[in-house]
Amino acid sequence: MSGGELFSDFRKKVIQSNPEACEEVAMFASVAWAFLIGFAAKKAQYRRQILAVIQKLSEAPSWIAAWEAHTALHARVKDLHEDLQAALAVQHKAIAQSVAPSALGSMASVRQEERPELLRQDMAKEKMVSDIRETQPEGQFLEPPTLTGSPEPVTPQQTASLLQAGIDAAVAIDDDAKMQNGGLAALNELRIGCIRCAGDEGIFSKEIVHAPAVFGFLIHYLRKRPEEVAAAAEVMNQLMASASWSAVFVGSVPLKESLQELPEDVQVAFGLQHPLVLSCIVPSARQRVEIGDAEESVKKVAPLMQSIRQAEVPADTAREAPADPTPEAPADSKPEPPAEPTLEAPAKPTPETPAERVPPGQVASSGSGYSPEPAPEVAPPPPVAAQEWRTARTPQGHTYYFNKSTSESQWERPASLGGPIVFKVGDDVEVWSNSQNCWGKGKVDKVDLAAGKVVCDFQLPNGSAAKKELPAGHKDLRLASEGGATESFSPEEDELYKRLFDALDPPGKKKSAKVIADLLYKSGANTATLRQIWAVANPGLSQELEFEDFARCCRLVAHCQAMGLESDMVTTGERPLRVKLRTVCLFARPPQLPTFG
CATH number at residue 502: 1.10.238.10
Most confident of 123-127, 264-268, 462-466, 574-578: 264-268
Q: In terms of domains, do 193 and 299 share one?
A: yes
CB of 194 within 8 A of CB of 183?
no
pLDDT of 217 above 70:
yes
State how far the Cα of 478 lies from the Cα of 495, in Å rounded to an integer.
Answer: 34
Q: In terms of domains, do 463 and 543 share one?
A: no
Q: How far apart are the first and last CA of the chain?
A: 37
Mean pLDDT value of segment 167-189: 87
Mean pLDDT value of segment 50-77: 94
pLDDT band of 485, cuts 50, 70, 90:
low
Q: In terms of domains, do 521 and 560 share one?
A: yes
Mean pLDDT value of segment 197-221: 94
Q: In terms of domains, do 450 and 501 share one?
A: no
pLDDT of 138 above 60:
no
Q: In terms of domains, do 266 and 191 share one?
A: yes
Distances 580 to 166, 577, 586 between C-alpha atoms, Å: 16, 5, 9
Residue 519 lies in a domain: yes
403 or 314: which leads in pLDDT: 403
Q: In terms of domains, do 396 and 512 share one?
A: no
The whole-chain average pLDDT of the chain stands at 83
Mean pLDDT value of segment 482-491: 70
19 φ, ψ (degrees, to nearest 5): -55, -35
- Domain total of the chain: 4
pLDDT of 319 above 80:
no
- SS3 of 118, please? helix
Interstrand relation of 409-410 and 399-403 (parallel, antiparallel or unpaired): antiparallel
Could you tell me which of 281, 254, 186 has the C-alpha nearest to residue 224? 186
CB of 462 within 8 A of CB of 438?
no
CB of 421 within 8 A of CB of 473?
yes
pLDDT of residue 348: 37
39-43, 172-176, 456-460: lowest mean pLDDT where?
Answer: 172-176
pLDDT of 335 above 80:
no
Mean pLDDT value of segment 43-50: 91
Q: What is the 3-state secondary structure (H, E, C) of 495-555?
A: HHHHHHHHHCCCCCCEEEHHHHHHHHHCCCCCHHHHHHHHHHHCCCCCCEEEHHHHHHHHH
Residue 143 lies in a domain: no
140-144, 433-437, 517-521: lowest mean pLDDT where?
Answer: 140-144
pLDDT of residue 483: 61
Could you tell me which of 331, 316, 460, 482 has the C-alpha nearest to residue 394? 482
pLDDT band of 386, cuts 50, 70, 90:
very low
pLDDT of residue 155: 72
pLDDT of 112 above 50:
yes
pLDDT of residue 181: 80
pLDDT band of 311, cuts 50, 70, 90:
low
Digit-coded pLDDT (tens) for 534-566 = 988 887 778 889 999 899 999 999 999 999 999
Range 126-132 contact pairs with CB under 8 angstroms and sequence separation of 24 or more: 126/15, 127/15, 127/16, 128/195, 128/308, 129/192, 129/195, 129/196, 130/12, 130/15, 130/16, 132/188, 132/191, 132/192, 132/195
Residue 530 lies in a domain: yes
Residue 362 lies in a domain: no
pLDDT of residue 393: 80
Could you tell me which of 190, 158, 191 has the C-alpha nearest to residue 171? 190
Q: In terms of domains, do 165 and 288 share one?
A: yes
DSSP, res 202: H
pLDDT of residue 371: 44
Q: Which residues constitute the domain of residue 469?
A: 389-482
CATH of the domain at 418: 2.30.30.140
State how far the Cα of 469 lies from the Cα of 455, in Å rounded to an integer.
Answer: 4
pLDDT of residue 357: 38
Domain boundary among the residues 453, 482, 511 is at: 482
pLDDT of residue 402: 87
pLDDT of residue 338: 35
